[in-house]
Amino acid sequence: MTFFGNLQNEIYFAGLGGTLPALPMTAAGLEDLARQRLSPEAFGYIAGSASTERTAAANLAAFDRHRIVPRMLRGTAAPDVRDLSVEVLGTRLAAPVLTAPVGVLELVHPDAEAAVGAVTSELGVGSVLSTAASTSIETVAQVSGETWWYQLYWPSDDEVAESLVRRATAAGAKAIVLTADTPGMGWRPRDLELGHLPFLQAKGIANYLSDPVFRSRLASPPEESAEAMQMAVLTWVSMFGNHAIRANDVARLTEWTDLPIVVKGIVHPEDAHAVVDAGASGVVVSNHGGRQVDGAIGALDALVPVASAVGERATVLLDSGIRSGADVVKALALGADAVLYGRPWVYGLGLAGADGVRHALRMLLADLDLTLGLAGFASVAELDPSILRDA
Protein backbone atom coordinates (compact mmCIF):
# COMPACT_ATOMS: atom_id res chain seq x y z
CA MET A 1 0.00 0.00 0.00
CA THR A 2 1.40 3.39 -0.93
CA PHE A 3 0.47 6.52 1.00
CA PHE A 4 0.47 9.06 -1.78
CA GLY A 5 -0.79 11.82 0.52
CA ASN A 6 2.65 12.09 2.14
CA LEU A 7 3.58 14.56 -0.61
CA GLN A 8 1.74 17.11 1.52
CA ASN A 9 4.10 16.66 4.51
CA GLU A 10 7.13 16.59 2.26
CA ILE A 11 6.24 19.99 0.84
CA TYR A 12 5.37 21.63 4.16
CA PHE A 13 8.58 20.42 5.82
CA ALA A 14 10.65 21.57 2.85
CA GLY A 15 8.91 24.94 3.20
CA LEU A 16 9.91 25.09 6.85
CA GLY A 17 13.49 24.68 5.66
CA GLY A 18 13.03 27.53 3.20
CA THR A 19 12.55 25.47 0.02
CA LEU A 20 9.49 26.22 -2.05
CA PRO A 21 8.11 23.77 -4.62
CA ALA A 22 9.45 24.29 -8.14
CA LEU A 23 6.09 23.78 -9.83
CA PRO A 24 2.45 24.82 -9.25
CA MET A 25 0.10 22.59 -7.25
CA THR A 26 -2.87 22.45 -9.63
CA ALA A 27 -3.40 21.22 -13.17
CA ALA A 28 -4.51 24.74 -14.14
CA GLY A 29 -1.30 26.15 -12.63
CA LEU A 30 0.79 23.77 -14.75
CA GLU A 31 -1.12 24.83 -17.86
CA ASP A 32 -0.58 28.54 -17.10
CA LEU A 33 3.15 28.08 -16.60
CA ALA A 34 3.42 25.93 -19.73
CA ARG A 35 1.71 28.70 -21.71
CA GLN A 36 4.50 31.05 -20.62
CA ARG A 37 7.41 28.67 -21.10
CA LEU A 38 6.66 26.44 -24.09
CA SER A 39 6.83 27.54 -27.71
CA PRO A 40 3.46 28.71 -29.12
CA GLU A 41 3.51 25.68 -31.45
CA ALA A 42 4.08 23.14 -28.68
CA PHE A 43 1.62 24.76 -26.28
CA GLY A 44 -1.03 25.15 -28.98
CA TYR A 45 -0.72 21.52 -30.00
CA ILE A 46 -1.20 20.24 -26.45
CA ALA A 47 -3.75 22.69 -25.15
CA GLY A 48 -5.78 22.93 -28.33
CA SER A 49 -9.01 21.07 -28.99
CA ALA A 50 -11.34 20.92 -31.98
CA SER A 51 -13.14 23.96 -33.38
CA THR A 52 -14.89 26.06 -30.72
CA GLU A 53 -13.40 23.88 -27.94
CA ARG A 54 -16.88 23.55 -26.42
CA THR A 55 -16.47 19.80 -25.94
CA ALA A 56 -13.20 20.38 -24.10
CA ALA A 57 -15.19 22.74 -21.85
CA ALA A 58 -18.06 20.21 -21.58
CA ASN A 59 -15.58 17.64 -20.25
CA LEU A 60 -14.74 19.90 -17.31
CA ALA A 61 -18.36 21.05 -16.81
CA ALA A 62 -19.55 17.43 -16.54
CA PHE A 63 -17.26 16.85 -13.57
CA ASP A 64 -18.49 20.03 -11.95
CA ARG A 65 -22.13 18.93 -12.21
CA HIS A 66 -21.45 15.99 -9.91
CA ARG A 67 -20.57 16.65 -6.28
CA ILE A 68 -19.27 14.31 -3.62
CA VAL A 69 -21.23 14.03 -0.36
CA PRO A 70 -18.45 13.30 2.17
CA ARG A 71 -19.08 10.90 5.05
CA MET A 72 -17.67 11.60 8.52
CA LEU A 73 -16.51 9.80 11.64
CA ARG A 74 -15.99 6.46 9.93
CA GLY A 75 -12.41 5.89 11.03
CA THR A 76 -11.16 6.06 7.46
CA ALA A 77 -9.19 9.30 7.40
CA ALA A 78 -5.93 7.72 8.61
CA PRO A 79 -3.54 7.15 5.73
CA ASP A 80 -2.54 3.63 6.75
CA VAL A 81 -6.07 2.30 6.32
CA ARG A 82 -6.45 3.45 2.75
CA ASP A 83 -5.95 1.30 -0.31
CA LEU A 84 -5.89 2.86 -3.76
CA SER A 85 -4.59 -0.20 -5.56
CA VAL A 86 -6.53 -1.93 -8.32
CA GLU A 87 -6.05 -4.65 -10.88
CA VAL A 88 -7.11 -3.59 -14.36
CA LEU A 89 -7.15 -6.28 -17.04
CA GLY A 90 -4.45 -8.20 -15.22
CA THR A 91 -2.24 -5.15 -14.62
CA ARG A 92 -1.70 -4.43 -10.93
CA LEU A 93 -1.60 -0.68 -10.23
CA ALA A 94 -0.86 1.20 -7.01
CA ALA A 95 -3.70 3.59 -7.92
CA PRO A 96 -6.43 3.53 -10.61
CA VAL A 97 -4.50 5.87 -12.89
CA LEU A 98 -2.62 5.44 -16.16
CA THR A 99 -1.07 8.18 -18.24
CA ALA A 100 -3.12 8.69 -21.42
CA PRO A 101 -1.38 8.02 -24.72
CA VAL A 102 -0.02 11.31 -26.00
CA GLY A 103 1.84 11.52 -29.28
CA VAL A 104 4.85 13.62 -30.31
CA LEU A 105 6.18 14.24 -26.81
CA GLU A 106 9.50 15.41 -28.28
CA LEU A 107 7.64 18.66 -28.99
CA VAL A 108 7.88 19.47 -25.27
CA HIS A 109 10.92 17.54 -24.01
CA PRO A 110 13.68 15.34 -25.47
CA ASP A 111 13.22 12.68 -22.76
CA ALA A 112 9.64 12.22 -23.97
CA GLU A 113 8.15 8.72 -23.52
CA ALA A 114 11.19 7.37 -21.66
CA ALA A 115 10.58 9.88 -18.85
CA VAL A 116 6.91 8.91 -18.68
CA GLY A 117 7.66 5.17 -18.69
CA ALA A 118 10.28 5.48 -15.95
CA VAL A 119 8.19 7.70 -13.67
CA THR A 120 4.95 5.70 -13.98
CA SER A 121 6.83 2.49 -13.27
CA GLU A 122 8.52 4.09 -10.23
CA LEU A 123 5.13 5.21 -8.84
CA GLY A 124 3.41 1.92 -9.66
CA VAL A 125 0.79 3.50 -11.90
CA GLY A 126 0.20 2.63 -15.56
CA SER A 127 1.15 4.24 -18.85
CA VAL A 128 -0.24 3.92 -22.35
CA LEU A 129 2.40 4.37 -25.02
CA SER A 130 1.19 6.15 -28.18
CA THR A 131 1.71 4.83 -31.70
CA ALA A 132 2.66 8.43 -32.50
CA ALA A 133 5.49 8.34 -29.95
CA SER A 134 8.82 10.07 -30.47
CA THR A 135 10.70 7.00 -29.24
CA SER A 136 10.48 3.41 -30.49
CA ILE A 137 8.40 0.83 -28.60
CA GLU A 138 11.46 -1.27 -27.76
CA THR A 139 13.40 1.66 -26.27
CA VAL A 140 10.51 2.82 -24.10
CA ALA A 141 9.82 -0.77 -22.98
CA GLN A 142 13.29 -0.95 -21.44
CA VAL A 143 12.43 1.67 -18.82
CA SER A 144 8.68 1.20 -18.41
CA GLY A 145 8.46 -1.74 -15.99
CA GLU A 146 5.43 -4.01 -15.98
CA THR A 147 2.58 -1.54 -16.13
CA TRP A 148 2.54 -0.22 -19.68
CA TRP A 149 -0.03 -0.72 -22.41
CA TYR A 150 0.34 0.06 -26.11
CA GLN A 151 -2.00 2.39 -27.99
CA LEU A 152 -2.61 1.51 -31.63
CA TYR A 153 -3.45 3.88 -34.42
CA TRP A 154 -4.35 1.24 -36.99
CA PRO A 155 -2.54 2.27 -40.18
CA SER A 156 -4.38 1.76 -43.47
CA ASP A 157 -1.62 -0.77 -44.32
CA ASP A 158 -2.75 -3.83 -42.30
CA GLU A 159 0.67 -5.43 -42.35
CA VAL A 160 2.16 -2.39 -40.62
CA ALA A 161 -0.66 -2.57 -38.05
CA GLU A 162 0.09 -6.23 -37.41
CA SER A 163 3.79 -5.51 -37.08
CA LEU A 164 3.18 -2.73 -34.50
CA VAL A 165 0.93 -5.00 -32.44
CA ARG A 166 3.40 -7.87 -32.55
CA ARG A 167 6.29 -5.57 -31.59
CA ALA A 168 4.39 -4.16 -28.62
CA THR A 169 3.44 -7.65 -27.48
CA ALA A 170 7.02 -8.89 -27.79
CA ALA A 171 8.33 -5.83 -25.94
CA GLY A 172 6.12 -6.57 -22.92
CA ALA A 173 3.00 -4.44 -23.22
CA LYS A 174 0.16 -5.68 -21.00
CA ALA A 175 -2.75 -4.59 -23.22
CA ILE A 176 -3.43 -3.14 -26.67
CA VAL A 177 -5.54 0.04 -26.78
CA LEU A 178 -7.10 0.65 -30.19
CA THR A 179 -8.02 4.30 -30.62
CA ALA A 180 -11.31 4.46 -32.49
CA ASP A 181 -12.00 8.19 -32.56
CA THR A 182 -9.15 9.37 -34.78
CA PRO A 183 -9.47 7.99 -38.32
CA GLY A 184 -8.18 11.47 -39.17
CA MET A 185 -7.45 14.68 -37.26
CA GLY A 186 -10.24 16.96 -36.10
CA TRP A 187 -10.41 20.66 -37.09
CA ARG A 188 -7.89 22.25 -34.76
CA PRO A 189 -7.81 26.03 -35.05
CA ARG A 190 -4.77 26.60 -32.82
CA ASP A 191 -2.58 24.36 -34.99
CA LEU A 192 -4.15 25.64 -38.19
CA GLU A 193 -3.45 29.27 -37.28
CA LEU A 194 0.23 28.40 -36.80
CA GLY A 195 0.29 26.12 -39.84
CA HIS A 196 1.75 23.53 -37.50
CA LEU A 197 1.55 19.74 -37.93
CA PRO A 198 4.53 18.11 -36.19
CA PHE A 199 4.46 14.90 -38.24
CA LEU A 200 5.40 16.79 -41.38
CA GLN A 201 8.71 17.57 -39.66
CA ALA A 202 9.15 13.83 -39.03
CA LYS A 203 8.20 14.23 -35.36
CA GLY A 204 6.10 11.51 -33.72
CA ILE A 205 6.78 8.86 -36.34
CA ALA A 206 9.60 6.92 -34.60
CA ASN A 207 7.47 3.76 -34.38
CA TYR A 208 7.06 3.76 -38.14
CA LEU A 209 10.66 4.64 -38.96
CA SER A 210 11.77 1.74 -36.72
CA ASP A 211 9.26 -0.70 -38.19
CA PRO A 212 10.59 -3.31 -40.64
CA VAL A 213 7.29 -3.56 -42.54
CA PHE A 214 6.94 0.23 -42.82
CA ARG A 215 10.55 0.46 -44.00
CA SER A 216 9.91 -2.19 -46.64
CA ARG A 217 7.40 0.26 -48.19
CA LEU A 218 10.14 2.88 -48.71
CA ALA A 219 12.37 3.16 -51.76
CA SER A 220 15.38 4.10 -49.63
CA PRO A 221 16.21 4.21 -45.90
CA PRO A 222 14.96 7.48 -44.38
CA GLU A 223 18.34 8.09 -42.68
CA GLU A 224 20.05 8.30 -46.05
CA SER A 225 19.02 11.80 -47.08
CA ALA A 226 16.58 14.61 -46.43
CA GLU A 227 14.64 13.57 -49.54
CA ALA A 228 14.37 9.96 -48.30
CA MET A 229 13.06 11.24 -44.96
CA GLN A 230 10.52 13.41 -46.78
CA MET A 231 9.35 10.33 -48.69
CA ALA A 232 9.02 8.43 -45.41
CA VAL A 233 6.91 11.27 -44.01
CA LEU A 234 4.66 11.19 -47.08
CA THR A 235 4.34 7.41 -46.76
CA TRP A 236 3.32 7.98 -43.12
CA VAL A 237 0.73 10.55 -44.26
CA SER A 238 -0.65 8.05 -46.78
CA MET A 239 -1.19 5.36 -44.14
CA PHE A 240 -1.95 7.23 -40.88
CA GLY A 241 -5.63 7.86 -41.55
CA ASN A 242 -7.78 4.76 -41.69
CA HIS A 243 -11.50 5.28 -42.20
CA ALA A 244 -12.16 1.62 -42.99
CA ILE A 245 -11.89 0.09 -39.51
CA ARG A 246 -15.13 -1.37 -38.16
CA ALA A 247 -16.05 -2.81 -34.79
CA ASN A 248 -15.64 -6.34 -36.20
CA ASP A 249 -11.98 -5.65 -36.95
CA VAL A 250 -11.28 -5.82 -33.22
CA ALA A 251 -11.51 -9.59 -33.70
CA ARG A 252 -8.50 -9.41 -36.07
CA LEU A 253 -6.37 -7.89 -33.33
CA THR A 254 -6.98 -10.97 -31.21
CA GLU A 255 -5.30 -13.03 -33.97
CA TRP A 256 -2.14 -10.94 -33.67
CA THR A 257 -1.85 -10.90 -29.89
CA ASP A 258 -3.05 -12.70 -26.78
CA LEU A 259 -3.12 -9.42 -24.84
CA PRO A 260 -6.44 -7.91 -23.77
CA ILE A 261 -7.84 -5.41 -26.27
CA VAL A 262 -9.23 -2.08 -25.09
CA VAL A 263 -11.04 0.29 -27.46
CA LYS A 264 -10.52 3.98 -26.74
CA GLY A 265 -12.80 6.80 -27.79
CA ILE A 266 -16.19 5.18 -27.13
CA VAL A 267 -19.11 7.37 -26.03
CA HIS A 268 -22.15 5.55 -27.50
CA PRO A 269 -23.42 2.47 -25.61
CA GLU A 270 -24.09 0.61 -28.87
CA ASP A 271 -20.48 1.07 -29.96
CA ALA A 272 -19.39 -0.31 -26.61
CA HIS A 273 -21.63 -3.34 -27.19
CA ALA A 274 -20.27 -3.87 -30.68
CA VAL A 275 -16.59 -3.82 -29.74
CA VAL A 276 -17.12 -6.06 -26.72
CA ASP A 277 -19.04 -8.50 -28.95
CA ALA A 278 -16.03 -8.45 -31.29
CA GLY A 279 -13.65 -9.41 -28.49
CA ALA A 280 -12.62 -6.24 -26.67
CA SER A 281 -12.05 -6.73 -22.94
CA GLY A 282 -12.33 -3.04 -22.17
CA VAL A 283 -13.31 0.40 -23.42
CA VAL A 284 -12.04 3.87 -22.68
CA VAL A 285 -14.92 6.32 -22.52
CA SER A 286 -13.27 9.35 -24.11
CA ASN A 287 -13.78 12.13 -26.62
CA HIS A 288 -10.03 12.55 -27.05
CA GLY A 289 -9.99 15.61 -24.82
CA GLY A 290 -12.42 17.36 -27.19
CA ARG A 291 -9.84 17.24 -29.99
CA GLN A 292 -11.97 15.34 -32.50
CA VAL A 293 -15.74 15.97 -32.56
CA ASP A 294 -16.44 19.45 -31.26
CA GLY A 295 -19.98 19.55 -29.89
CA ALA A 296 -19.66 15.98 -28.64
CA ILE A 297 -21.04 14.96 -25.27
CA GLY A 298 -18.74 15.46 -22.26
CA ALA A 299 -16.94 12.20 -21.53
CA LEU A 300 -18.21 11.84 -17.96
CA ASP A 301 -21.80 12.20 -19.24
CA ALA A 302 -21.20 9.18 -21.48
CA LEU A 303 -19.82 7.00 -18.68
CA VAL A 304 -23.02 5.70 -17.04
CA PRO A 305 -24.71 4.70 -20.33
CA VAL A 306 -21.56 2.93 -21.56
CA ALA A 307 -20.86 1.23 -18.23
CA SER A 308 -24.49 0.05 -18.05
CA ALA A 309 -24.32 -1.27 -21.61
CA VAL A 310 -21.25 -3.44 -21.03
CA GLY A 311 -22.07 -4.40 -17.43
CA GLU A 312 -19.70 -7.06 -16.17
CA ARG A 313 -18.58 -8.01 -19.67
CA ALA A 314 -15.82 -5.42 -19.93
CA THR A 315 -13.54 -3.14 -18.01
CA VAL A 316 -14.42 0.55 -18.34
CA LEU A 317 -11.87 3.35 -18.20
CA LEU A 318 -12.43 7.07 -18.71
CA ASP A 319 -10.44 10.06 -19.83
CA SER A 320 -11.07 13.63 -21.02
CA GLY A 321 -11.18 16.18 -18.25
CA ILE A 322 -9.45 14.50 -15.29
CA ARG A 323 -7.79 17.42 -13.47
CA SER A 324 -7.93 16.54 -9.75
CA GLY A 325 -8.32 13.79 -7.18
CA ALA A 326 -12.03 14.55 -6.88
CA ASP A 327 -12.41 14.00 -10.63
CA VAL A 328 -10.95 10.51 -10.24
CA VAL A 329 -13.31 9.80 -7.33
CA LYS A 330 -16.31 10.93 -9.43
CA ALA A 331 -15.29 8.79 -12.44
CA LEU A 332 -14.82 5.71 -10.26
CA ALA A 333 -18.12 6.36 -8.46
CA LEU A 334 -19.94 6.48 -11.80
CA GLY A 335 -18.51 3.16 -12.95
CA ALA A 336 -14.96 3.59 -14.24
CA ASP A 337 -12.41 0.97 -13.12
CA ALA A 338 -9.55 3.43 -13.70
CA VAL A 339 -8.84 6.72 -15.45
CA LEU A 340 -6.34 7.97 -17.98
CA TYR A 341 -4.65 11.22 -17.05
CA GLY A 342 -3.94 13.48 -20.03
CA ARG A 343 -2.74 17.02 -20.53
CA PRO A 344 -1.54 18.01 -17.02
CA TRP A 345 1.42 15.61 -16.98
CA VAL A 346 2.34 16.69 -20.52
CA TYR A 347 2.71 20.24 -19.21
CA GLY A 348 4.82 18.82 -16.38
CA LEU A 349 7.05 17.05 -18.89
CA GLY A 350 7.47 20.25 -20.87
CA LEU A 351 8.31 22.29 -17.77
CA ALA A 352 10.74 19.92 -16.03
CA GLY A 353 11.17 16.61 -17.86
CA ALA A 354 10.80 13.47 -15.71
CA ASP A 355 10.60 15.64 -12.55
CA GLY A 356 7.62 17.44 -14.01
CA VAL A 357 5.84 14.20 -14.91
CA ARG A 358 6.51 12.91 -11.38
CA HIS A 359 5.21 16.15 -9.92
CA ALA A 360 1.99 16.11 -11.96
CA LEU A 361 1.30 12.47 -11.10
CA ARG A 362 2.18 12.72 -7.40
CA MET A 363 -0.02 15.79 -7.13
CA LEU A 364 -3.00 13.91 -8.61
CA LEU A 365 -2.35 10.83 -6.48
CA ALA A 366 -1.95 12.82 -3.24
CA ASP A 367 -5.12 14.75 -3.98
CA LEU A 368 -6.94 11.48 -4.73
CA ASP A 369 -5.63 9.79 -1.59
CA LEU A 370 -6.57 12.69 0.68
CA THR A 371 -9.96 13.30 -0.97
CA LEU A 372 -10.85 9.64 -0.62
CA GLY A 373 -9.93 9.53 3.06
CA LEU A 374 -11.52 12.87 3.94
CA ALA A 375 -14.73 11.83 2.18
CA GLY A 376 -14.88 8.79 4.43
CA PHE A 377 -13.68 5.96 2.20
CA ALA A 378 -10.93 3.46 2.88
CA SER A 379 -10.66 2.05 -0.61
CA VAL A 380 -11.62 2.89 -4.17
CA ALA A 381 -13.79 -0.24 -4.21
CA GLU A 382 -16.25 1.52 -1.90
CA LEU A 383 -17.12 4.22 -4.44
CA ASP A 384 -20.51 4.01 -6.15
CA PRO A 385 -23.09 6.50 -7.54
CA SER A 386 -24.75 6.89 -4.13
CA ILE A 387 -21.80 9.03 -2.94
CA LEU A 388 -22.63 11.77 -5.48
CA ARG A 389 -25.34 14.39 -5.92
CA ASP A 390 -26.07 16.63 -8.89
CA ALA A 391 -24.83 20.16 -8.40
Ligand X SMILES: O=C(O)C(=O)c1ccccc1
- Smallest separation (angstroms) from ligand X to the CB of 326: 25
Q: Which does 264 bind (CB under 5 to 8 A by kind): ligand FMN, ligand X, none?
A: ligand FMN
Q: With beta carbons less than 8 A apart as the criterion, state whether 387 and 372 touch.
A: no
Q: Which of 4, 45, 148, 208 binds ligand FMN (CB under 6 A)?
A: 45
Q: Is 151 in the site for ligand FMN (CB under 6 A)?
A: yes
122: how many CB neighbours lie within 10 A of its CB?
Answer: 13
Q: Compute the least distance from the CB of residue 75 to ligand FMN, in Å.
A: 34
What is the CA angle 165-283-349, rounded to 5?
70
Binding site partner of 320, from ligand FMN, ligand X, none, Cβ cut-off 5-8 A by kind:
ligand FMN
Kindly provide the b/e burial profile for residues 303-327, where b requires at least 16 CB atoms within 10 angstroms of the residue's own CB: bebbbebbeeebbbbbbbbbbbbbb
CA distances from 310 to 204, 274, 284 (A): 34, 10, 12
Which partner in ligand X, ligand FMN, none is near 322 (CB below 5 to 8 A by kind)? ligand FMN
Kindly state whether residue 102 participates in binding ligand FMN, applying the rule CB under 6 A.
yes
CB of 65 to ligand X, least distance (A): 25
Q: How far is the CB of 269 from ligand FMN (least distance, A)?
A: 19
Binding mask 189-228 toward ligand X (x if CB under 6 A, else -) reads ---------------x------------------------
CA distance 16 to 311: 50
Closer residue to ligand X in complex, CB, 44/204: 204
Contact string (CB under 6 A) for ligand FMN, positions 163-202, x = contact: ----------------x-----------------------
Residues in region 328-387 near ligand FMN by CB under 6 A: 342-343
Tell me which of ligand X, ligand FMN, none is bound by residue 315, counting a contact when its beta carbon lies within the kind-specific cut-off of 5 to 8 angstroms: none
Q: Are strands 91-93 and 282-285 parallel, antiparallel or unpaired?
A: unpaired
* Interaction between residue 135 and ligand FMN (CB under 6 A): no
State how far the Cα of 164 lies from the Cα of 226, in Å rounded to an integer: 25
Residue nearer to ligand X on the CB measure, 167 or 291:
291
Beta carbons of 343 and 384 less than 8 angstroms apart: no
The conformation of residue 387, written as its DSSP 8-state character, comes to G
Show the binding pattern over residues 120-149: x = contacts ligand X (CB under 6 A), - = does not: ------------x-----------------
What's the min distance (Å) between Cβ of 317 and ligand FMN? Answer: 10
379 three-state secondary structure = strand
Nearest 10 degrees: Cα torsion 296, 357, 203, 169: -80
Ranges within 311-330 binding ligand FMN (CB under 6 A)? 319-322
Question: If you write DSSP's letter for every residue of 8-29 in order, what string do you get?
Answer: HHHHHHHHHTTPPPSS-SSHHH
Residues 6+ apart with CB under 8 A from 149: 91, 98, 126, 127, 128, 129, 173, 174, 175, 176, 177, 262
Nearest distance, CB of residue 182 and ligand X, angstroms: 5
Between 107 and 375, name the residue whose CB sits nearer to ligand FMN.
Answer: 107
Q: How many residues does the chain have?
A: 391
C-alpha–C-alpha distance, residues 69 and 123, integer Å: 29
Phi, then psi, of 277 in degrees rounded to 5: -60, -35
* 66 carries an active-site annotation: no
Q: Which amino acids are annotated catalytic?
A: 288
Instruction: Tell me which residues touch ligand X (CB under 6 A).
Output: 103-104, 132, 182, 185, 204, 288, 291
Instruction: Tell me which residues touch ligand FMN (CB under 6 A).
Output: 45-46, 100-103, 130, 132, 151, 179, 264, 286, 288-289, 319-322, 342-343
